[in-house]
Chains A and B, each alone.
Chain A
Amino acid sequence: MAHPVGTDAAAGLLVDEMTEFATLTSQNGRSATKTNGQPLVAFRGVDKVFANQVTALSRLDLEIRAGEFLSLLGPSGCGKSTVLRLLTGLTSPTQGEISWSCERPEFGFVFQEPTLTPWSDVFHNVWLPLRLAGCSKEKARPRIDEALAQVGLSGFAKAYPRQLSGGMKMRVSIARALVTRPAVLLMDEPFAALDEITRLKLNDDLAALQASLGATVVFVTHSVFESVYLADRIVVMAARPGRAVAEITVDAPGPRREGFRVSPLYAETCQRTSAALHLAMGEAPQNGLLE
């Protein structure tokens, strides 16, 4: 598939990037968890039909491994978001089963919109999950400070959402998802509404964050580039009815850094992923996208 030379070059580049990152954070849990991840949850033949008779998912088989960054990629209406809702237990499958290898873990959830409560400041927004669990303001404060630091928003605790830019609001939303130190982070097209510059920056920050947290991330997107840049594994989904049609492993070790975007491995994986997506959408792959 990949040109050997290209892969080597990419690997060399990434090793450099990785060591640079390691010296910066002195933490690198990702490479340990990504390849040997135990199955965390498995969807087996899952159907989901909504009350209005729309079939969101049809016979979906999907395995999510502990510690991996899994990207669900597909066109609108392919049931990506439904997979996340099924994972949280907010809705249950019409048919088939979802089996967890352990007890259903603590989730963090990030929506496409920041979904903050506009009437409370950043501190209170991030406090919310802990507050609902009965954790007092004073007890929660260190965790909130930590979560805000993780998303680079220390010092913004007293700001109201409307005073923040779209990217900063999204960071607050991520901090709120992280404050419970969830084992699984579910993200539903979190950066889709942001401008390109902000999105790239947040992608970089998310990659670094996941590497240091070692959490399992399920990331729904319709961007090929975003999924290749971030994910260990990409599951391509097709619409009407929603189902998984292809799986692509992104063989780049270590946390992704800006340089990954210009590596041959990145380009090659984008081509493969894009071709799979076109197939999933029932179109012929564009010229040059398939080898």
Chain B
Amino acid sequence: MTSEDFIGYAVPALTLGLGLFVWEGVVRFFAIPPYLLPAPSVIISTLFTDWWTLSSSLWVTLSITLKALLAAVFGSVTLAVIFAQSRLVERAFYPFAVALQVTPIVAIAPLLLIYLTPSVAVLVCAFLVAFFPLLANTTLGLSSADNNLVDLFQMYRATRLQQFMLLRAPSALPYFLAGLRISGGLALIGAIVAEIAAGSAGQGSGLAYRIVESGFRLNIPRMFAALLLISVAGITIHVLLTAFSHWLLHDWHESERGREA
């Protein structure tokens, strides 16, 4: 690690630490009660004391997020491949995809809660939010293969399968991965929003439900602890997906290209 790298990590860590220190100091100095604004130390200790409740909620939220993301990946890739076969099919289905995308998920959730059991409704909401960026990106990726390479494949009499496997799919990969990084975060947001919408209607036990419940009970430190867990979950998903993308692309894609010294 060079000194430049060290400074690159040290500076944000320092500002974060400073921010927490000021927060803690302000709360203690003005003796702000924890039901208004809990100090960071109180939030951390709540995290430990309420760990069993919070961690099981975290697991519920995470499993919904992951299931929704996986479903979105399979659904969007399948649909994008179908779209890639024919412009007409794409035009036929696109209105549905766009309508689902532009309608706010909070507005759809109550309806879904009528038709579906709360846990399935939450899953469907998270899926819907994660689905569109993946579909749009993958569709774009599949149609953005280099035209000269497409010609070359035709010249060498490639089959449709060969053209797909050796040209269209790899061309689409960076687009798909960009969509995946967006959808990873959105799936978590979708799951949380849907849980909140389900609120008291659900016998839900995810993190969002904990936040709503803690709000009713004025257990503000637990609200903050749950929020912290949501942030950490979101950051973790982002970091993992970025690492996954780097692993797949670092050999060849321009976006992964470091400055050559």
Contact = CB atoms under 8 A, between A and B. Distances in A.
* A, B from the same assembly: yes
Contacts of B254: 118, 162
Interface stretch (A108-116, A229-237, A252-260, A273-281): A108-116
Interface in A156-180: 160-162, 180
A132 interface: yes
A147 B136 CA distance: 40
Nearest to A106: B156
B149 interface: yes
Interface residues of B, number: 21
A128 interface: yes
A128 B166 CA distance: 9
Contact of A117 (B149, B154, B155, B157): B149
Q: Which residue, A113, A133, A161, A162, has most C-beta atoms of chain B within 10 A?
A: A162
Given A117-B167, A119-B173, A132-B162, A160 B148 contact: no
A86 B167 CA distance: 23
A141 interface: no
A129 B156 contact: yes
Interface string A94-134: 00000000000001010101010111100000001101110
Given A90-B151, A115-B146, A115-B148, A132 B251 contact: no
Interface residues of A, number: 21
A160 B257 CA distance: 12
A88 B148 CA distance: 13
B153 interface: yes
Contacts of A118: 252-254
A161 B254 CA distance: 11
B156 A132 contact: yes
Given A128-B166, A132-B158, A132-B162, A115 B152 contact: yes
A160 B155 contact: no
Contacts of A85: 151
B170 interface: yes
Contacts, number: 51
B155 A119 contact: no
B146 A160 contact: no
Contacts of A109: 151-152, 155
Interface string B152-185: 1111111000100011001001000000000000
A85 B252 CA distance: 30
A115 B152 CA distance: 9
A90 B155 contact: yes
A117 B252 CA distance: 9
Contacts of B257: 162
A160 B256 CA distance: 13
A86 B152 CA distance: 14
B259 to A, nearest CB: 13
Nearest to A186: B155
B148 A132 contact: no
A112 to B, nearest CB: 9
Contacts of B253: 118-119
A132 B153 contact: yes
Contacts of A88: 151, 155
A123 to B, nearest CB: 13
Interface in B211-261: 251-254, 257
B170 A133 contact: no
Nearest to A176: B152
A119 B149 CA distance: 13
B17 to A, nearest CB: 39
Nearest to B256: A162
Given A117-B167, A119-B252, A162-B254, A128 B146 contact: no
Contacts of A180: 156
A262 B148 CA distance: 36
B161 to A, nearest CB: 11
A109 B152 CA distance: 8
Contacts of B157: 132-133
A113 B251 contact: no
A74 B173 CA distance: 39
Given A117-B170, A132-B157, A160 B252 contact: yes
Interface in A165-200: 180
Contacts of A117: 149, 166-167, 170
Interface string A43-66: 000000000000000000000000
B164 to A, nearest CB: 13
B154 A90 contact: yes
7 contacts: A90-B155, A109-B151, A119-B252, A120-B252, A128-B152, A161-B252, A162-B254
Q: Which 9 A-B pairs have the closest CB atoms?
A: A132-B156, A115-B148, A119-B170, A118-B252, A132-B158, A119-B252, A111-B148, A129-B156, A88-B155
